[in-house]
A and B are shown apart, each in its own frame.
Chain A
Amino acid sequence: MTITNGTLKPPETNADEPIAAKRTGTAGVGFGRWWWALPAVALTLVVTYLTTAVGAFYAFTDWTGLGDFNFVGFDNFIHVFRDQALLGSVRNTLLLAAGFVVFTNLLGLSFALALNRTLKCRYFLRALIFMPVVLSSVAVSFIWKFIFAYDGPLNQFLNSMGLGSLKQDWLANPALALWCILAVMVWRSIGFVMVIYLAGLATVPVELEEAAALDGAGIWQTFRNITLPTIQPSVTIATVLTLIQGLTVFDEVLTLTGGGPGDATQTLATQVYSQTFIYGGFGLGAAAALVLTVFILILALIQQFVARDRAVRED
């Protein structure tokens, strides 16, 4: 294995090395035929793609969920980008997604680096940090709602520390509520991101780090030139997954604030729910859902492009 400009390259393949024989013959005829996949493909098409297409179709109608509907062209989309509450939810969604990607990845990577090797109690600490991931998001949010309550533990703690002036109605303060939601989302997902990075760190060869150390590289140089390039695929996976999770956040918002106070913490996903099921505006809800889908698609593609493997970039 060689390193060129910080990129690991696999050893050249020796032409004389035996190559696994290609599968030939008729063994297993009747198995593995393409039509074996038909039921699954049909179900996927019907359950996922057809329903999505039908949902997209309703975005161009004024359907209330009952009876007939009329075509309204792009009116619902215009409404999404003109309605102040819906526009605010777009802003909140982007803010939550950006904050979620940054904080979960920074903290997740930090914990992964800290608990990668050497520390004796690392397995226990890894389990501890991963624990919130396996809990139901609704249950977690209810616990945090109790913690953030005006007479809840957080304010009681501040009082006991003589910081009573910092006492807040955390979830009812329009300036703080969104940050409280972000904090709960990040707290719950750090363990998930940490595991992705731990898997990536397991692929970093110890001898490379040792060689770098012998050459006089510091911790930051080793991380920048050896660790980070090696775990690039983990970075891509973790950031894309957290971006999608951040853009589609629903449970935490609905449980912690219900989108309030006022509409201060509404996101696109909660607006889809409200418009569709509370107000009976299936057309507008479908349009908001379509906008959310397009957002996710565009941002995920941009992020994949930016965070793509360095080797691919240099090709």
Chain B
Amino acid sequence: MSFVSNSPRGWLAVGATAVAATIVLSGCGSSSQTASPENEPQTIKFAFSQINPTDTFFQDAAANFEKANPGTKIELVKLPTETAPQTITTQLQGGSAADVLSIFSGQGQTGSMTGFAKANLLLELNDPEFSTTLPKSIEKLFKYNDKVYAVPVANMPAGLIFNQAKAQEIGVKLDATSSFDDLLKQCTVARDKGVTLTALAGTVPGNPGILTMALASSTVYGPNPEWNADRIAGKTTFAGDKGWQQAVGGVKQMFDAGCFQEGAAGAGFDALNSGMGQGKALGFFAPGAATTAIANATKGAVNPVILPMPAPGASQTYLGTTSELALAGNAKTKSPNLVKKFLKSLTTKEGAEGLAKGLGAIPVNLGDYQLPSGYAPIADFYKQDTVRPLGYNEWPSGKVYDSLGKGITAMITGQKSPDDVLKDMDAAWGN
């Protein structure tokens, strides 16, 4: 019995199946026509993620833009926070990304601007307004080959999110002028009262990572703001740098002094919020937006402030800041002018302040902006310009920052010495 039909009907069906399969399979990769600049579509998609699910600042910004520009429409695509960088990377590479995207500035993380710009996947923001509104201190995070490819969402200090009211209640004294030794002493005072000074989420590399970066703002990037350039040039290494040794050693000193909760190495993010919410911990290390998020979540019952992180052996305390949240346009957008117009609206004073207020942060151009109440202890740092961008946004890959976060956890479990952690970071850097 032959299994190959010789009938015309059979071959017709084979042909039809092949054609149908080809159409179905090739349909996934079809490209659409691009409209001329004068007549481009007035509807764009905006894909974004938000750490705090109740935040609405991106939605508000889109609604304000539509109101100010009748006839335009911004379709919002909310992505899960945990997977947004991977989703946006895959969609950009596959040609199916939204017109406007929330990404990270600089490089060193999945979903960072430089990798996308290198691959020609981002729309160049060549209007002068984009470059003139970028502060000098952070402009390299938003440029590639001297061209602007992204706009900052806001600036946030990174430090100790601290429940000052609870601390005063139990006699723990810590403020923006405290030294590192003061901090270690207050860890003991807090312990004696049955609480820990700071909760640590050891299973989430970003948490021990940001703690160490806050220390390195004073020990590394304060004295030498161009440390990353020196590392790229091969003039220094993590393991060979005294500032990095002090920063990583500082975390070890904090652990030995009992600054973290029992079981910190095995704790997740939940330990941060629940620790502070239940009064078991006085604070945790995070970007400043956490002050607003906690105040909102507790309906004002807890109003934390943010404190700078004093560092061991540093003559001056510098405040670490981050402008890593960024927005960019898709190079393949059919509405490049509308995308630029929308992004430009977010760089204006009103637009930037709207985003900052909603996020619980500050605009990158501070001007006369009223700091959130939780930022009061760090106001002088901005006035005196003793702030430093957290360095990891310029590192070559996410592996370096991940090595730092994982290494810190391994250090407090006794698997690694501070020197091992720094050597691992050098190995992850690649040269």
The interface of chain A, by Cβ under 8 A from chain B, is: 30, 33-35, 38-39, 42-43, 46, 64-68, 145, 148-151, 169-174, 257-258, 260-264, 274, 277-281
**What B residues does A171 contact at CB under 8 A?**
203, 266
Pairs A-B, 4 closest by C-beta atoms? A150-B263, A262-B410, A172-B266, A67-B119
Are A261 and B115 in touch, CB under 8 angstroms? no
Min CB–CB distance B186 → chain A (angstroms): 22
**What B residues does A42 contact at CB under 8 A?**
17, 21, 25
Give CA–CA (A66, B263) in the complex, Å: 39
Are B25 and A149 in touch, CB under 8 angstroms? no
Q: Which of B4, B17, B268, B415 contacts A261 (CB 8 A)?
A: B415
Interface of chain B residues 57 through 83 with chain A (CB within 8 A): none
**What A residues does B93 contact at CB under 8 A?**
65-66
**B202 close to chain A: CB less than 8 A:** yes
**B193 close to chain A: CB less than 8 A:** no
**What A residues does B120 contact at CB under 8 A?**
67
Chain B: which residue is nearest A257 at the CB level? B203
Give CA–CA (A150, B270) in the complex, Å: 13
Give CA–CA (A306, B20) in the complex, Å: 45
Give CA–CA (A54, B398) in the complex, Å: 25
Interface of chain B residues 102 through 140 with chain A (CB within 8 A): 110, 115-116, 118-121
Are B402 and A261 in touch, CB under 8 angstroms? no
Are B5 and A172 in touch, CB under 8 angstroms? no
Give CA–CA (A305, B64) in the complex, Å: 68
Using known A-B contacts A35-B10, A66-B92, A66-B115, determine if residue A263 contacts B17 with beta carbons closer than 8 Å: no
Q: Could you jot down 5 A-B contacts, CB within 8 Å?
A: A30-B10, A46-B25, A67-B119, A172-B263, A279-B397
- Size band of the B side of the interface? 35 or more
**What B residues does A38 contact at CB under 8 A?**
14, 17-18, 21
Chain B: which residue is nearest A278 at the CB level? B398
Give CA–CA (A68, B265) in the complex, Å: 39
**B418 close to chain A: CB less than 8 A:** no
Using known A-B contacts A66-B121, A172-B413, A279-B399, determine if residue A35 contacts B14 with beta carbons closer than 8 Å: yes
**What A residues does B14 contact at CB under 8 A?**
35, 38
Min CB–CB distance B239 → chain A (angstroms): 16
**What B residues does A277 contact at CB under 8 A?**
86, 110
Using known A-B contacts A67-B119, A280-B110, determine if residue A261 contacts B202 with beta carbons closer than 8 Å: yes
**What A residues does B25 contact at CB under 8 A?**
42, 46
Min CB–CB distance B421 → chain A (angstroms): 10
Are A149 and B115 in touch, CB under 8 angstroms? no
Chain B: which residue is nearest A23 at the CB level? B1
Query: Which of B9, B21, B202, B413 is packed against the most chain A CB atoms within 10 Å?
Result: B413
* Per-position 1/0 for B262-294, Cβ under 8 A of A: 111111100000000000000000000000000
Are B266 and A169 in touch, CB under 8 angstroms? yes
**What A residues does B165 contact at CB under 8 A?**
none
**B143 close to chain A: CB less than 8 A:** no
**B13 close to chain A: CB less than 8 A:** yes
Q: Which of A67, A145, A260 contacts B202 (CB 8 A)?
A: A260
Using known A-B contacts A34-B4, A278-B110, A279-B398, determine if residue A262 contacts B413 with beta carbons closer than 8 Å: yes
Are B267 and A66 in touch, CB under 8 angstroms? no
Are A261 and B119 in touch, CB under 8 angstroms? no
Are A260 and B402 in touch, CB under 8 angstroms? no
